[in-house]
């Protein structure tokens, strides 16, 4: 059970980073910002925040299960 929450948490954080553009350079972020529409940016942000929140909650549950 602990491993499942760890895997879900890590995958959620990685997906969040990809959708929010965390692992890109400043020039790439600037280019992405100017080449996408507001609707597309809003969609990416919603997916990134949701998956990041899911990842953090899963990692929190895994931490609780580890210490209990």
How does pLDDT run along the chain (68 residues), one tens digit per residue?
999 999 999 999 999 999 999 989 989 989 988 999 999 999 999 999 999 999 999 999 999 999 98
Q: Which two tokens stand for residue 29?
A: 């972020």
Quick check: 58 and 8 in contact, CB under 8 A? yes
Kindly report the pTM of this predicted structure.
0.86
Structural domain range at position 53: 2-67
The domain tally of the chain equals: 1
Q: Which two tokens stand for residue 30?
A: 């600037």
Integer-rounded Cα Rg, in Å, for the chain is 15
């Amino acid at each position: 059970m602990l491993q499942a929450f760890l895997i879900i948490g890590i995958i959620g954080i990685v997906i969040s980073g990809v959708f929010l553009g965390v692992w890109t350079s400043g020039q790439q972020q600037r280019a992405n910002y100017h080449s996408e529409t507001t609707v597309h940016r809003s969609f990416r942000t919603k997916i990134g925040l949701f998956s990041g929140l899911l990842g953090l909650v899963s990692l929190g549950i895994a931490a609780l299960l580890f210490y209990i």
